[in-house]
């Protein structure tokens, strides 16, 4: 048998899709924010690097025809906040000769563009010195004193440890902020989705609160516009179903009337012929067949009506409080003569007082009548049948015991199916009695089991929910 796919949750689907969209936006936003913040931070470091470069460039002088520079410690002090940061510099005169700093500092690569962010003639680029990655600012400083004419080159390189650490801090900060924002947003989304889907829950509650036979249109003027097409389709279906149910009820009523009238008429004619004839044996068989047909007709109609929600709805008008002890005594009184004709002992055992249930009395009578019919039909002459009621905390049990042949354990579940009779069973029957019993029990939120009885035959245990005790009568 193929595995049925599990039903998907609209709420879970919405949350997952919204969470995926939110996560995607969050990642893109975090990446963009990180790039922007990193760019701004690098520009701030570049401005500081340029300030140090200018500080050195401003101290370039021409002494005795030679270019000299006096680099104060303060010019490099800006980069000593973090011990990991290192500064390297070199100054070349207009002729390209070394003046101060690291003599082997690498030359500026060709085609490095001049920065457009500052009025100074400065170039920013990445390089390496002594195996250390650097961010370098190369500034051209005009020299116009002491007979020197031209521009000196000042290169200042900053190691990237501080910048890398700043990039990591920015990344972690952005990720933490985005994670917190996504978490808060998901919580708000979950609350929003729950509130948005609440009208569907209201529609579900309204449908569940209706009786099974209530096929009137479902009211939904207060529901959102998006649910209205679903509600209209549901109401159209209920209208079609109402027409089908009404036609079925009308057919059952007409069929019951016609069948019962015709069978009663035929039975009356047979009775007259039996009384008028000295040889009524053959006609007696016809009469028995008619009686079986009448019972089968009644059973089929009962099966059809046990599915009628208006008859068996828990809050329907047909449901009432019933005292099981009195009901059992009434049904046993009706079957007493049948049992006596077969020389059987039919008795009602002790029933607890106040054994109340809520149900449809006509259907419960039909259920007990079917049980007693089976017991009387299959219990041999001289046998005994008893009906008792037992009480538990929340249920009441009707026990019907007989001294008949019983039913094998392997067949006790199968006999509840319609038109099933055990092979070799004596007596006439249609195989509908126990099917009716189970259907009526289930309609009353009860159950029925077949057991081995104390009398050596079959015990039928019918379990029904107990109702509260009857209120005291008002004087």
What pLDDT was estimated at residue 310? Answer: 45
Residues 6+ apart with CB under 8 A from 117: 43
What pLDDT was estimated at residue 154? Answer: 93
In the chain, how long is the greatest CA-to-CA distance?
Answer: 165
What pLDDT was estimated at residue 274? Answer: 74
| Greater pLDDT, 394 or 305 | 394
Query: Tens digit of pLDDT for each residue in 183-223?
Result: 898 888 888 888 888 888 888 888 888 877 778 888 888 88
In a domain, 241, yes or no: yes
Find the distance separating the first CA and the last CA of the chain, reported in whole Å: 64
In a domain, 203, yes or no: no
What pLDDT was estimated at residue 6? Answer: 56
Parent domain of 121: 13-169
Shared domain for 162 and 20, answered yes or no, is yes
Query: pLDDT-derived band of residue 81, with 50, 70 and 90 as boundaries?
Result: very low
What are the angstrom distances between the C-alpha of 294 and each of 232, 262, 291, 376? 44, 10, 5, 18
* Residue among 209, 189, 186 at smallest CA distance from 197: 189
What pLDDT was estimated at residue 474? Answer: 47
In a domain, 472, yes or no: no
Shared domain for 403 and 271, answered yes or no, is no
Shared domain for 344 and 244, answered yes or no, is no
In a domain, 314, yes or no: no
What pLDDT was estimated at residue 460? Answer: 93
* Residue among 361, 376, 357 at smallest CA distance from 466: 357
Total domain count, the chain: 3
Query: With pLDDT > 90 as the criterion, what percentage of the chain qualifies?
Result: 17
In a domain, 374, yes or no: yes
What pLDDT was estimated at residue 312? Answer: 45
Write the CATH number for 241.
1.10.287.130
């Amino acid at each position: 048998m193929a595995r049925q796919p599990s039903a998907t949750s609209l709420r879970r689907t919405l949350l997952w899709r919204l969470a995926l969209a939110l996560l995607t936006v969050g990642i893109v936003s975090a990446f963009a924010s990180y790039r922007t913040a990193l760019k701004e931070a690098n520009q701030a470091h570049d401005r500081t690097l340029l300030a140090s470069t200018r500080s050195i460039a401003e101290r370039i002088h021409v002494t005795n025809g030679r270019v000299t520079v006096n680099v104060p410690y303060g010019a490099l002090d800006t980069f000593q906040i973090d011990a990991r940061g290192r500064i390297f510099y070199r100054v070349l005169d207009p002729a390209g000769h070394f003046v101060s700093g690291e003599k082997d500092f690498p030359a500026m690569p060709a085609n490095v563009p001049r920065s457009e962010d500052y009025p100074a003639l400065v170039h920013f680029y990445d390089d390496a010195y002594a195996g250390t990655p650097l961010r370098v600012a190369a500034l051209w400083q005009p020299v116009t004193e002491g007979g020197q004419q031209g521009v000196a080159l000042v290169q200042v390189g900053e190691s990237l440890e501080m910048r890398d650490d700043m990039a990591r801090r920015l990344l972690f900060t952005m990720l933490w902020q985005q994670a917190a924002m996504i978490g808060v947003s998901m919580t708000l989304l979950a609350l929003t989705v729950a509130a948005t889907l609440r009208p569907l829950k209201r529609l579900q509650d309204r449908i569940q609160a209706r009786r099974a036979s209530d096929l009137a249109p479902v009211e939904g003027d207060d529901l959102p516009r998006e649910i209205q097409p679903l509600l209209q389709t549901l109401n159209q279906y209920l209208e079609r179903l109402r027409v089908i149910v009404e036609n079925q009820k009308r057919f059952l009523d007409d069929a019951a009337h016609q069948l019962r009238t015709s069978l009663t008429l035929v039975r009356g004619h047979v009775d007259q012929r039996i009384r008028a004839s000295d040889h009524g044996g053959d006609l007696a068989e016809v009469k028995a067949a008619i009686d079986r047909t009448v019972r089968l007709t009644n059973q089929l109609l009962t099966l059809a009506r046990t599915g009628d929600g208006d008859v068996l709805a828990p809050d329907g008008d047909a449901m009432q409080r019933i005292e099981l002890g009195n009901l059992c005594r009434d049904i046993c009184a009706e079957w007493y003569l049948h049992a006596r004709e077969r020389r059987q002992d039919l008795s009602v055992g002790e029933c607890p007082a106040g054994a109340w249930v809520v149900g449809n009395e006509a259907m419960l009578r039909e259920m007990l009548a079917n049980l007693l019919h089976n017991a009387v039909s299959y219990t041999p002459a001289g046998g005994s049948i008893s009906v008792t009621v037992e009480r538990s905390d929340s249920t009441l049990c009707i026990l019907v015991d007989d001294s008949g042949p019983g039913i094998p354990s392997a067949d006790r579940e199968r006999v509840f199916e319609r038109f099933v009779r055990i092979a070799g069973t004596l007596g006439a029957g249609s195989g509908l009695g126990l099917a009716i019993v189970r259907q009526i029990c289930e309609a009353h939120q009860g159950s029925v089991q077949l057991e081995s009885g104390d009398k050596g035959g079959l015990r039928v245990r019918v379990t029904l929910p107990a109702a509260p005790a009857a209120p005291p009568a008002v004087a």
